[in-house]
Chain A
Amino acid sequence: MSLALPAHRTWKKPPAIKRAWLRWTLIVGAAIYLSLALGTTHVNWSRVWEGLPRGMQFVTAFLPPDFTSRWTEIVEGIAETLWMTVAATVVGIALSVPVGIGAARNIAPLPVYYFCRSVLAVSRSFQEIILAIFFVKLFGFGPFAGFVTLSFATIGFYGKLLAEDIEDMDPSQAEAVRATGAGWLQWLNYGVQPQVMPRMIGLGLYRLDINFRESAVVGIVGGGGIGATLDTAFNRYEFDSAAAIILIIIAIVMAVEYSSGYLRRWVQ
């Protein structure tokens, strides 16, 4: 009695998707989609080809970055962006706390829950830039429109994460506080808030970082700040100034990212 082993069976890596029909459907579907997508995407290759030397010119026009000739405008733009970022983060977070509490299924009644969830959904579905177009129309050009845009966008981001964090909290701690006879606000303050606080501080810093990045583009549609300065530089074909602005944006983003990472570690 011997097990009949096939003579040359080599080991093969198991496929990533085990069900064969699903694997082939996905592969064929992806192939069909790609051919359709590439087939219907009209690329004007002669224009691209023509553009490449122009692209080289463009890149060389960026070099060397010119920090000096528009320095006052750049400083003003950066300062405006920073105010916008800070003010919008503060107001956005302050507004998102009640919305986030209302959107947590375990502590809010159902009508409030649906209302707050829909506020979050609307705030999250639109890009900052679309919001900015409308707020510029409503509030006029300048940093106020940018400030409102970023605050509104912050509500969607921060409120959703706060709601999810509250839903994930440990109910026994909140229960213990309630058992002492605490009122609703006391319950919220001593039972819920300490559980979500460390993560929320980290997320607040992260949102500050995002708001800075976004405020750089809100200016393109008239929301004030460094984005407006950058757009002006592009429109005047002052690419060397534009390069300087982009480098400054990168440097500040890096600085904010490192310091917020450091702060988050320190807080937690």
Chain B
Amino acid sequence: MSGAIVTSKKVWQRHDRKTQLAVWAAWLFGTAVFVYCFQLISERTIWAFVWDAPAQAADLGARMVPPAWSYIHYLWRPIWDTLNIATLGTIISIVIAVPIAYCAARNTTPSVAFVRPVALFIIVASRSINSLIWALMLVTIVGPGVFAGIIAIGLRSIGFVAKLLYEAIEEIDESQVEAVRSTGASAAQTTVYGIVPQVMPAFAGITVFRWDINIRESTVLGLVGAGGIGLELNAAITQLYWTQVSLMLLVIIGTVILSEWVSAKVRHAII
């Protein structure tokens, strides 16, 4: 007996044959879907324009430098407006979102059968309509300007804040609530001393995070007439003042990076 004879050399494979086939089938299906979608897009595309794009981009780029630095004096006011739209909008959304989150969380809602579905629907409706579409509608109702922007940002943020907040409420430690309740606290006292301290850090984090997103979104609300720097950007684009456009883009990048930095710092300090 001279030990086992290895007849065929076995090579290590990551998957067995069945998994391998399944992976291939998934790739095939995915590729087919993508090619189909892309073909439908390309049918509606005028390719001459696309091939022309590099030349167009170079032309546009040449027109955009140097940025019209002197125009910055006219931009302070729109920047301030943008900041206000984001901040006041966030405040409005918090005021509305807190009670909605309270109604939507499974452990605090007054009624699982009636109140909770309504609260969840409000959350989904607010989240699925983009702030630009909200602004489009509000500009028609309350007139163009900062106010429409504030309300649009507020309505749009309700869903986001309420969703994250109600998830935080559902994850709280029930024993602490129980402990507060066992001292004979009323329902309101239980909420204030048992639930609020537990969700406070999450709440502050969510608020700052949403404020950061709102700064980003409020820079473009002006495109539909809802105030802020987007209004100036739209005017500059339609009048083909490309040097002003490039200045505004730089200002927007600056504002966004600054707000992201602030929000990261604050969240770091809280958590």
Contact = CB atoms under 8 A, between A and B. Distances in A.
Interface string B12-40: 00100000000000000010011001101
Among A138, A142, A213, residue most surrounded by chain B Cβ atoms (within 10 Å): A138
A130 B216 CA distance: 11
A58 interface: yes
A1 interface: no
Given A41-B84, A41-B147, A127-B216, A143 B34 contact: no
A126 B252 contact: yes
A125 B253 contact: yes
B243 to A, nearest CB: 15
A126 B253 CA distance: 7
Given A51-B143, A121-B257, A84 B41 contact: yes
B136 interface: yes
A143 B253 CA distance: 26
B143 A48 contact: yes
Interface stretch (B95-103, B105-113, B122-130, B168-176): B122-130
A214 B131 CA distance: 10
A250 B146 contact: no
A36 to B, nearest CB: 9
The A interface is mostly helix, strand or loop, or mixed, namely: helix
A51 B148 CA distance: 11
A196 interface: no
A44 B145 contact: yes
A246 interface: yes
Interface size class of B (residues with CB under 8 A): 35 or more
Interface in A218-262: 220-221, 224, 230-231, 234, 246, 249-250, 253-254, 257
Contact of A214 (B130, B145, B224): B130
Contact of B220 (A40, A41, A129): A129
Given A42-B145, A254-B128, A87 B44 contact: no
Given A51-B142, A86-B33, A213 B45 contact: no
Given A82-B37, A130-B252, 15 more contacts: A13-B193, A37-B88, A38-B88, A43-B146, A44-B147, A80-B40, A86-B37, A87-B37, A87-B41, A125-B252, A125-B253, A137-B56, A216-B133, A249-B129, A253-B127
Interface of B: 14, 30, 33-34, 37-38, 40-42, 44-46, 49-50, 53, 56-57, 60, 80-81, 83-84, 87-88, 124-125, 127-130, 132-133, 136-137, 140-143, 145-147, 150, 193, 200, 216-217, 219-220, 223-224, 233, 237, 249, 252-253, 256-257
